[in-house]
């Protein structure tokens, strides 16, 4: 889900009597987690979104962002940066718009801006996503990590996620999508121990996240521990009832692109697993063993169910079903009767 602050068109301003900062951040957290209208109303009652008196650079930036045509938007941002080269938001938006034009020069620009974002995050005392002051920096850091991973610069991505993890505890709030990005980087680097540590920390927090479980499952297959992989698949299927429909297809890796089409996030769904693994897609395409084993695990788990398609077919073809119509046999199976 897009964060509440990312949806707003103008900077936040508090009313004359500033509300408690911690209370406001808790409201933001609650709204991002639930999307509840009453929480939004509470936020509206303590925050005012209005046109503030801005300096010339900010006015030029918002004019650029209101432009729908991306080429025109980039041209306006380029003009802005020619006069105000240190404008944080303009630099970030310019990098976003040019992300498909990755080159050595773009990499240098990205690395320089990453250092700027780190400096800004340090000024915010390395606070987590709960802190409004840290969100701009963390958004940039997440983008840098994703770009490194997409371009195959996995070592650089690993350096970023190690640093972020050293500053944000597992029971705190990572930026949206960063956990799956981090685990994808660790899997691409074969850092099974790092994934295991995070997975066990999650279990210790009594936090069941299907995306974390599936990354742990992939890591287990990569080290060839198929007994542990079977147990993890059963655990995943118990947490997410739609796991079977994701992995019982030999083309499941190609179908991870569906994550780009999801407009709303639903936990423990087919889409939630595809979103969790999408950052790892380019890596998985090169790992046929992992692809085949996930399908085999799904099929084996499905066959272990009392009402599996294979067991139904065997029951329909058994001598005791001779002369009984298919629909009647289906009623028996639905009632849990699948043997003489």
Cα–Cα distance for residue pair 3/312, rounded to 1 Å: 46
DSSP annotation of 49 reads E
Cα–Cα distance for residue pair 77/95, rounded to 1 Å: 10
Is residue 260 domain-resident?
no
Is residue 238 domain-resident?
no
Question: Residue 244 to residues 45, 176, 241: CA-CA distances in angstroms?
Answer: 44, 26, 7
Is residue 308 domain-resident?
no
Q: What domain count does the chain have?
A: 1
Q: What is the pLDDT of residues 279-301, one digit of tens each?
A: 999 999 999 999 999 999 999 99
Which residue would you say has higher pLDDT here, 24 or 254? 254
- Ranking 25-39, 143-157, 324-338 by mean pLDDT, the lowest is 324-338
Angle at 73 between CA 72 and CA 78, to 5 degrees: 95
Q: What is the pLDDT of residues 118-166, one digit of tens each?
A: 999 999 999 999 888 999 999 999 999 999 999 999 999 999 999 999 9
Domain interval for residue 37: 1-53
Collect all residues with Cβ–Cβ distance below 8 Å to 14 and sequence separation of at least 6. Answer: 46, 47, 48
Is residue 15 domain-resident?
yes
What is the model's pTM? 0.77
Supply the Cα-derived Rg of the chain in whole angstroms.
25
Is residue 232 domain-resident?
no
Burial label, 130 (beta-carbon count in 10 A; 0-12, 13-18, 19+):
middle
Q: Which residues, listed in sequence order, are joined to residue 9 by a DSSP beta bridge?
A: none
Q: What is the pLDDT of residues 97-117, one digit of tens each?
A: 999 989 999 999 999 999 999
Cα–Cα distance for residue pair 8/94, rounded to 1 Å: 19
- Which tokens is 158 given? 């690993």
Is residue 208 domain-resident?
no
Furthest CA-CA distance within the chain = 85
Is residue 46 domain-resident?
yes
The predicted structure's pLDDT at residue 4? 33
What count of Cα atoms within 13 Å lies in the side-chain half-sphere of residue 121?
A: 24
Is residue 13 domain-resident?
yes
């Amino acid at each position: 889900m897009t964060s509440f602050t990312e949806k707003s068109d103008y900077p936040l301003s508090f009313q004359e009597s500033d509300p408690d900062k911690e209370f406001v951040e808790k409201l933001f957290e609650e709204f991002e987690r639930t999307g509840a209208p009453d929480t939004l109303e509470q936020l509206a009652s303590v925050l005012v979104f209005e046109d503030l008196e801005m300096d010339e650079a900010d006015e030029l930036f918002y004019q650029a962002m209101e432009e729908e045509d991306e080429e025109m938007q980039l041209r306006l941002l380029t003009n802005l940066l020619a006069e105000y080269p240190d404008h944080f938001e303009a630099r970030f938006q310019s990098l976003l718009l040019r992300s498909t034009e990755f080159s050595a020069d773009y990499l240098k620009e990205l690395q320089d801006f990453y250092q700027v974002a780190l400096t800004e995050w340090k000024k915010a005392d390395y606070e987590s996503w709960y802190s409004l002051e840290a969100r701009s920096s963390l958004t940039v850091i997440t983008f840098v990590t994703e770009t490194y991973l997409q371009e195959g610069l996995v070592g650089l991505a690993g350096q970023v996620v190690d640093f972020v993890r050293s500053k944000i505890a597992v029971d705190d709030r990572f930026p949206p999508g960063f956990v799956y990005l981090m685990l994808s980087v660790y899997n691409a680097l074969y850092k099974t121990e790092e994934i295991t540590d995070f997975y066990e920390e999650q279990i210790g927090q009594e936090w069941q996240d299907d995306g974390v479980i599936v990354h742990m499952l992939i890591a287990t297959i990569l080290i060839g521990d198929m007994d542990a992989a079977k147990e993890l698949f059963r655990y995943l299927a118990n947490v997410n009832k739609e796991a079977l429909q994701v992995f019982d297809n030999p083309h499941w890796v190609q179908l991870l692109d569906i994550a780009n089409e999801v407009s709303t996030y639903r936990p423990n769904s087919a889409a939630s697993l595809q979103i969790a693994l999408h950052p790892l897609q380019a890596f998985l395409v090169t790992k046929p063993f992992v692809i085949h084993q996930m399908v085999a695990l799904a099929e084996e788990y499905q066959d272990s169910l009392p009402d599996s398609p294979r067991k139904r077919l065997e029951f329909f073809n058994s001598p005791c079903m001779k002369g009984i119509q298919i629909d009647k046999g289906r009623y028996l199976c639905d009632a849990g009767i699948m043997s003489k």
